[in-house]
Structure 1
């Protein structure tokens, strides 16, 4: 009988010792994803206070507290390279951090590291270990949602940005300099003149008018306007034919809104170009889909931004 008891005690001791060896007192969990996005985009949504509102898959409880599948996460501190969070589940209190790092191939690696102390009780230590593994799965799901969000171009940059081809290579163009940003009356007066010039020579307008406004060194507004036409014609006055390469690449952004929205879209397209190592050999332009003279409500304006690229 004593031998049986001793054997049982020995087995219990071996199992208990094994638990302490296999499951350390400090439980660490790591979740990681590689995202096809730049570190600039990752920082935009990770370390900015209003960024989490846009991608978090669960519920925002207040400015610094978020929940996901019954887990509550508190943002304790945000730095230039990391977000420190704390959370607890079934008596386990975790300290954690989310960091990001760009890779050589233009992607970004996001890592969520968390740590907690497990119980000294061997049975509870097993339960703590299982709970930690479950939380690790939850954290991975959250990061996978972030990956899906950031790899959507419109989510990442705020606009639908894509590559198209030059379909209207012949542009009847006019350039005028103004002392201030030209109003719609001046813009559409020039467009009307280009249309009349094309019509007199039997040329057809093939797409919407195009606009580029650039501020020169003298703080003047150099305004280029063009209409795509179906053939080369003789020009008069300050108009000229500008020809693009047929089938050349254009980076396009769809924009709904007025001047401030269009300005922001231009900025985001530039970020996109930098992130994807694209170079523009020529000036960008706006395609005026909405007749801005006829539609005074700028929120209803529809515009396409075009950047020639290679």
Structure 2
């Protein structure tokens, strides 16, 4: 009888010892993922998400990104109906085109055996959901996901053009823009030259309204006159471009995103960005049908 009791006691001691050994009260975890995109781009995108947190499915629970300290982030992972694990998320740059996303933390629980087992289960949930959420970031390696459209790298399409500036107290209307383009076209025709591509447009806001510049690529260099100037572009210079569909708000956002691309990849822009008005906007009232190519010169 005594041997039986001693055996049972020994087994219980071994079981408890095993529980305390393999199920610690504090269980650390970590996960890292290498992404083929610049750290600046990922930082900016995650900041936008963290400022407007939206719960995203990562299995049966939810994962929410929140602002952290020193430009960092916290990943909040719901492990039960009433509990969440908040863990720091760090971005480690690798050169100019890659980033390591590193997540680590400690899941804490009670000291008794049942609490330790519950902590272990919570840790497995955290690991599973964190891995799924981080792997979902791989979608951002595609420029379409990060910037909203495909970014192309090419060469400057036109080497010479004529340009004209004008101002407006409000954002220039289609009638105003094409009125200025018509003046350029008249000058090009009178000089015996030809336009080689659709008209180009750049608009910026000033303290007193808006300043706009229209341009018309030509088949040869023209001297210009009065308020019409000529301009040379760097022959075979590098340029970013994208084709968009939509109104002027879409174009402005597209140019802003190309500016982000320039900063993200460490480029320098030697000239202003511009929009090539592929669709004649005077003949198409539906802005959703407007096709515009946006260009951003780079070094």
Query: How would you bin the TM-score normalised by the shorter chain?
Result: 0.7 to 0.9
How far did 1:24 drift? 0.8
Q: Is 2:45 aligned against 1:41?
A: yes
Tell me if the contact between 2:276 and 2:293 (Cα under 8 Å) persists in the aligned partners.
yes
Equivalenced residue count is: 290
**1:134-173 Cα shifts (integer Å, max 9, x gaps):** 541332121110x2233232322334333221122222x2
Q: Secondary structure at the match of 1:272?
A: helix
Tell me if the contact between 2:75 and 2:86 (Cα under 8 Å) persists in the aligned partners.
yes
Tell me if the contact between 1:29 and 1:133 (Cα under 8 Å) persists in the aligned partners.
no
> TM-score, normalised on structure 2?
0.78
**1:108-144 Cα shifts (integer Å, max 9, x gaps):** 635253514267337x856863663354133212111
How far did 1:306 drift? 1.3
Q: CA 1:76–1:209 in structure 2 vs 1: closer, same or farther (change >3 Å)?
A: closer
Alignment of 1:174-189 (within 5 A): 174-180=163-169, 181-189=171-179
Match of 1:121 in 2: 113
Match of 1:85 in 2: 76
How far did 1:305 drift? 2.0
Match of 2:135 in 1: 144
How far did 1:175 drift? 1.9
Distance (whole Å) between structure 2 residues aligned to residue 93 and residue 31 of structure 1: 21
How far did 1:288 drift? 0.9
Structure 2 segments unaligned to the other structure (5+ residues)? none
Structure 1 segments unaligned to the other structure (5+ residues)? 59-67
CA RMSD of aligned residues (A): 3.5
Q: CA 1:70–1:178 in structure 2 vs 1: closer, same or farther (change >3 Å)?
A: closer
263, 277, 285: which is aligned to 2:266?
277
In the TM superposition, structure 1's runs of 4+ consecutive aligned residues that sit over 6 Å from their partners are 1-5
Match of 1:301 in 2: 290
